[in-house]
Structures are given as C-alpha cells and as structure tokens.
Amino acid sequence: MSPEPEAEAQAPGAVSAELGVERWTRGTLERTTDLVAEEVPVALVYHDVPHVVMLATPADLEDYAVGFTLSEGLVARAEEIRGVEVSYGALSADVRITVAWERFTQLLQRRRNLTGRTGCGLCGAESAADAIRECGPVPAGVSVTSAALHAAIGELSGRQPINARTGSVHAAAWVVPGQGIKVVREDVGRHNALDKTIGALSRAHADFTAGYMLITSRASYEMVQKCATVGISLLVALSAPTAFAVRLAQRAGLTLVAFARADQHVVYAHPHRLTDQKRAGT
C-alpha cells in the first residue's frame, strides 16, 4: 500500500489549506477536498532573546505580539513596547519585539521556557508561583443588559471567516455596549485569539474599560488572568469556566459569564454588571 502523499506547505501567512479527503456519508464514500486551518510555530523573541514558542494561526501576528506582551504582564503599558517585526518562514514565523530596557532586564530575570502546545498559557512556568500571577482589582468598567449580551453572541457567528471555512478556530470579540462587536480575531488557540484581540485594541489606542470580551472557548484561568491584567472587567464565554478561573475572577472583581447563548447565560462572579439580571427571591 503506497503511503499517503504529504500535504503541501502553504504560502507563508496562509490561514488554511485545501486538502484531499475521503468523506463517508450515509454509506457513500466521496473523494473531495476540505479546508483545514493552518497552525505554525510562532517564536516570540525579545531583543534577540527567545522567550516562547507557540502554535498559532499565522495571521495578525503583530496584534498577537502586543497582546501577549501586555496580557502576560511583561510590560505595564503599551508605550513600553517599542517595536514589533514579523518574519515568515516556510513552516514557521518569528516575531521580534523590542520593549523598554527596564522591562527587558526584568524579563531576563524571570525568563521562562514556554515551548508549548497550542497557545498553552502556563506551559513551562518554572514554579506554581510563577504560573499563578495575581491581578489587581479591575476598574468599574461597563454594564450591559442581558438582551445586548445575547445580541452580541448572535452577531459573533457571522464575524468568524476562518472558522466558517474550517470549523476549527476560536474567536475573541471586543464588544462595546450600544455599538456591538468592534474587533474580532481568530486563532487555533483560545489564548492566542484573546491576545490578538487585546493587541489589536491596544494598537488602536482603545479604552479597555469601554467594553467587554466575548470568547468562543471555555473560560480558563489564563483567560481571566489576561483580561484582568489589562483592565477588562467583563468576560463572557460560550463554554464552561473552571473553578480556578471563577476564584480569580472573584478576587479580581471581574464579572465572569459562561455558557452564554442567544437566550441564556450563567454568571459566576460579580453579577452587578448585568444590569437587568433579576436576583432569586426579588
């Protein structure tokens, strides 16, 4: 039996590949093609010093670099990021980031080897203390009605072009009350999608207290941590939270909503930002 031919590498920066497949449907075999999401190793390099390699969708990598640098607390302000340069190889990408010198020296002191899986936010932390990074209390931020939240969820399904073609990527959307979804970024890794959206907002000089984050994935600890680090006060997830994430949200003052659908949701922490949510017994 001859070996399967290897899928051809796509052009650098391509987000999907058309591959030959055999589709079995109701007893019928069909040879056809399918669009499959690309993921490539993306190396984040600070001042020529490798810091982390993540598997990511090779798009919006400038946004990713800025968002990762902010959400991981590597800098305190966007102004401390001096420059971002992206270069693509045949099957990888390098992103070189320049930050304020004081921040770079701090980074060297706590440097981690994070050669990870798909956007695995805690892979390679040297100790549990390094992984569990507490976040200060978030700002008051926005309030939103349940109807507006559900409308944003309905809007999001039409704002994910890569997922519409491949069915295999996450999205993170920035929603401004009264204006709907303003920014969406997609990635094979949920952390990466969130970092890309945070980075896009930062590069546009957006106010992190003026909206909330809507994600298609579960609400893990790192997702709450990243939002709280940059001052986002409300996180809405379509899937489930973890108990670790809920406890961090409670401590940080962040409103955490999960199992969000077009007609329902569950609030796990700080429900006061859902302005029309009736309390049991009232």
Cα Rg of the chain (Å, integer) = 20
Q: To the nearest 10°, the Cα dihedral for 144, 147, 150, 151?
A: -100
Of the pLDDT bands very low, low, confident and very high (cuts 50, 70, 90), residue 124 is: very low
CATH of the domain at 71: 3.10.20.10
Cβ-proximal residues to 247 (8 Å cutoff; 6+ apart), any chain: none
pLDDT digits (tens, 9 = 90+) for 216-255: 999 999 999 999 999 999 999 999 999 999 999 999 999 9
Instruction: Print the domain residue range for 172.
Output: 146-273
Between CA 122 and CA 156 the distance in angstroms is 28
Q: What pLDDT is recorded for position 114?
A: 46
Q: Torsions phi, psi of 149, nearest 5?
A: -60, -45
Average pLDDT score over residue span 160-170: 96
Note the helical H segments in 77-176: 101-109, 128-131, 146-156, 161-166
What pairs with residue 175 in β-bridges? 181, 212
214 and 116 housed in the same domain: no
177 and 201 housed in the same domain: yes
92 and 193 housed in the same domain: no
Average pLDDT score over residue span 123-149: 79
Between CA 40 and CA 167 the distance in angstroms is 17
Q: Is 169 contained in some domain?
A: yes
Q: Is 23 contained in some domain?
A: no
Q: What pLDDT is recorded for position 126?
A: 55
Buried b (16+ CB within 10 A) or exposed e, 162-195: bbebbeebbbbbbbbbeeebbbbbbbbbbbbbbb
Whole-number percent of the chain with pLDDT over 70? 87
The pairing of beta strand 255-258 with beta strand 266-269? antiparallel
The pairing of beta strand 212-215 with beta strand 180-187? unpaired
Q: Is 228 contained in some domain?
A: yes
Q: Is 64 contained in some domain?
A: yes
Is the CB of residue 78 less than 8 Å from the CB of residue 99? no
Domain finish residue from 82, 99, 131: 131
The mean predicted confidence, pLDDT, of the chain is 90
Q: What pLDDT is recorded for position 6?
A: 57
Q: Considering its fold, how many domains does the chain have in total?
A: 2
Q: Is 204 contained in some domain?
A: yes
How many other CB atoms are found less than 10 A from the CB of residue 80? Answer: 17
193 and 104 housed in the same domain: no
Q: What pLDDT is recorded for position 7?
A: 59
Question: Which residues are known to be catalytic?
Answer: 120
82 and 110 housed in the same domain: yes
**In this structure, what token pair is assigned to residue 210?**
């003026």
CATH of the domain at 200: 3.40.140.10
pLDDT digits (tens, 9 = 90+) for 63-122: 999 999 999 999 999 999 999 999 999 889 999 999 999 999 988 887 654 444 455 555
124 and 200 housed in the same domain: no
Q: What pLDDT is recorded for position 217?
A: 97
Between CA 78 and CA 69 the distance in angstroms is 9
Shortest CA distance to 132 belongs to which of 143, 141, 144, 121? 121
Q: Of 123-137, 139-153, 181-195, 247-261, where does mean pLDDT reach its minimum?
A: 123-137
